[in-house]
Amino acid sequence: MGEKPVATSREGAIASKAAPARGLTPTDGGYPSPAYGWFVVGVLTLAYVFSFLDRQILSLLVEPMKADLNLNDTQISLLQGLAFAVCNALAGLPLGRLVDTQRRTTLVAAGIAFWSVMTAACGLVRSYGALLILRMGVGAGEAVLTPAANSLIGDHFPPHKVGFPLAVYSIGIFIGGGLALVIGATVIAGAIEAGPAYVTLVGEIRPWQTVFLIVGLPGLLVALLALSLREPARKGALRRSGADNGAGKPEAPPLREVFAFLSENRRAFISVNLFMGFSAVAGYGVAAWVPSMFIRRHGWTAVEIGHAYGLLLVFGTAGVLMGGWLGDVMTRRKGPGGRLHIVIVVKLLTIPFIIGYTLLPDGTLALLPLAASIFLPTFMNGLSPAILQQMVPNQMRGTAISISLLVVNMLGLGVGPTLIAVLTDSVFQDPAMIHLSILFVCVAMASISLILILIAYRPYVALVNALQQSQAEEGREAFAQGRH
């Protein structure tokens, strides 16, 4: 697995078009202060927490929604996955392009406000069709957050220090998922005790509808906080247009240039994105159905598994942070391939724990391997954003990350929950056998994703080395021009 820098002809063409910025030395990237950078990370992480709170809450409401609306597992899985994923994917590409060309902080605030309203509205409707449409709206609103957040964080920290801040942002998945379960379980318990609520102009609403209202509306306050953030200057731009002050203004490359770059390096991009997508099939499938597995297989109540599983997600937070930190360490020691080394080891270690928590007959004992199977795979959430950022110049990040999210959401959200549900409904034909569906899907996805990352290794390292060499040359040229 050699790591020689190899530049493609297209990379060379793009690099040659990039006019260097003036007045910056190779060691002075003009980044905002670390304190403000971490403030931005904090706000974006809070937004990510709310996005997963809104997204994940549905997994705890499966049984009461099925009873009230007379639904089966497959219909529920469409609400959890495909309805969200399709709209998220359709909105993601144009929004990713806007991230590369427009004010990102405004886009983030608008997205948060939109998905929060859509989530709250889920508590006011009484039909499956209306819920399906609103879940699609949640998916559309959330499509802008991660491309914009990754791009913004990348402009607040230099490349060799960006992994850990991106990992901190990524823990929003597990904080939000954990809060969804803990808060959801608490609200359900209180709502059941209090009985149905009454909303003016809507009428009586069920306890599961109350949960949607409670978790959706506070997101509007987070939208206002995001709107207050300053828009940073873009770092590592491909080209600059002239400006009166001589500093130059970043200009987004045409879409045809972006797609030409991605096509020229398609082996690395396709393999990495499919690796992330197949990993997400297992991740989203588990998140959607593990609560139901404990309810059906071990006889737990929704409140019991909500509290237990929600607290276990702290291991997910630890895994993301460990992945981000260790990724930065391994990158300094091993170069661009350092993060991929971690991925390979983690995939191999995870499989025995999947087998453990799905097959152990005692629910309390099953929590132990479940905790490990949460901790290890979540290294990917700390590694993946930095892996993607290394592969593209600044002004291609929004589009490239949107493409990656399209793959992850269409495979992960679109396939993961539904694949487990279809196996349970159509193959095993027994809701109590859901643990076997989870086992088969997770082991298969871990094996496929491991093969894909091995395929991606050499072209990925070659691409990242070529981009780093090009950026170093531009920095030297900028320093030389600045002295004259």
Q: What is the pLDDT of residues 162-217, one digit of tens each?
A: 888 888 888 877 777 677 677 767 766 766 676 666 766 666 778 778 888 888 88
Band (409; pLDDT cuts 50, 70, 90)? confident
Give the count of alpha carbons within 13 A of 107, CB side only: 26
Q: What per-residue confidence (pLDDT) applies to 188?
A: 67
Tell me the mean pLDDT in the region 31-60: 86
Q: How far apart are CA 288 and CA 414, in angstroms?
A: 12
Tell me the mean pLDDT in the region 377-398: 84
H/E stretch holding 87: helix 83-101
Domain assignment present for 4:
no
H/E stretch holding 240: strand 240-241
Q: Please, are residues 323 and 378 in contact by the beta-carbon 8 Å criterion?
A: yes
**Which tokens go with 414?**
């679109």
- What is the residue-wise DSSP string for 320-375? HHHHHHHHHHHHHHHGGGHHHHHHHHHHHHHHHHHHHHHH-S-HHHHHHHHHHHHH
- Lowest-pLDDT choice from 179-188, 421-430, 450-459: 179-188
Domain assignment present for 239:
no
Band (427; pLDDT cuts 50, 70, 90)? very high
Q: Please, are residues 289 and 58 in contact by the beta-carbon 8 Å criterion?
A: no
Res. 24: pLDDT tops 70: no
Which pairs count as long-range contacts for 418-421, CB under 8 Å and 24+ apart, including other chains?
A: 418/74, 418/77, 418/78, 418/81, 418/82, 419/281, 419/285, 420/77, 420/285, 420/288, 420/289, 421/73, 421/74, 421/76, 421/77, 421/289
**Which tokens go with 170?**
């990524």
- Cβ contacts of 483 within 8 Å, gap of 6 or more: none
Which pairs count as long-range contacts for 361-367, CB under 8 Å and 24+ apart, including other chains?
A: 362/298, 363/294, 363/297, 363/298, 363/299, 363/300, 366/294, 366/298, 367/308, 367/312
Q: Please, are residues 367 and 308 in contact by the beta-carbon 8 Å criterion?
A: yes
481: β partners: none
Domain assignment present for 248:
no
Domain assignment present for 151:
yes
- Lowest-pLDDT choice from 8-12, 54-58, 454-458: 8-12
Q: What per-residue confidence (pLDDT) applies to 474?
A: 57
Using a pLDDT cut of 70, give the percent of the chain over it. Answer: 83
Domain assignment present for 357:
yes
Please give the model's pTM, rounded to 2 decimal places: 0.67
- Cβ contacts of 256 within 8 Å, gap of 6 or more: none
Angle at 232 between CA 231 and CA 238, to 5 degrees: 120
Q: Please, are residues 165 and 38 in contact by the beta-carbon 8 Å criterion?
A: yes
Domain assignment present for 18:
yes
CA 461 to chain centre: 23
CA 111 to chain centre: 15
Q: How far apart are CA 86 and CA 395, in angstroms?
A: 25
Domain assignment present for 210:
yes
Q: How far apart are CA 200 and CA 391, in angstroms?
A: 52
SS3 content of the chain, % helix, strand, coil (to 5): 80, 0, 20
Q: How many of the other CB atoms lie within 10 Å of CB of 411? A: 22
Q: How far apart are CA 240 and CA 244, in angstroms?
A: 13
Burial readout 59-90 (b: 16 or more C-beta within 10 A, e: otherwise): bbbbbbbeeebebebebbbbbbbbbbbbbbbe
Cα–Cα separations (whole angstroms), residue 217 to 59, 64, 117: 19, 22, 7
Domain assignment present for 205:
yes
Band (12; pLDDT cuts 50, 70, 90)? very low
294 or 14, higher pLDDT:
294
Mean pLDDT of the chain: 81
226 or 3, higher pLDDT:
226
3-class secondary structure for 189-207? HHHHHHCCEEECCCEEECH
What is the three-class DSSP state of 250?
strand
Res. 22: pLDDT tops 50: no
**Which tokens go with 269?**
């991009």
- Cβ contacts of 212 within 8 Å, gap of 6 or more: 57, 119, 120, 121, 122, 123
The CATH number of residue 259's host domain is: 1.20.1250.20
Residues in the chain, overall count: 484
Q: Which residue has the tokens 């983690």?
A: 346
Band (447; pLDDT cuts 50, 70, 90)? very high
Question: Mind listing the pLDDT tens digit for each residue in 274-297?
Answer: 999 999 999 989 888 998 999 999
**Residue range of the domain that includes 14:** 9-233+255-483
N-term to C-term CA, the chain: 42
Nearest to 145 by CA among 185, 173, 121, 117: 173
Quote the number of domains for the chain: 1
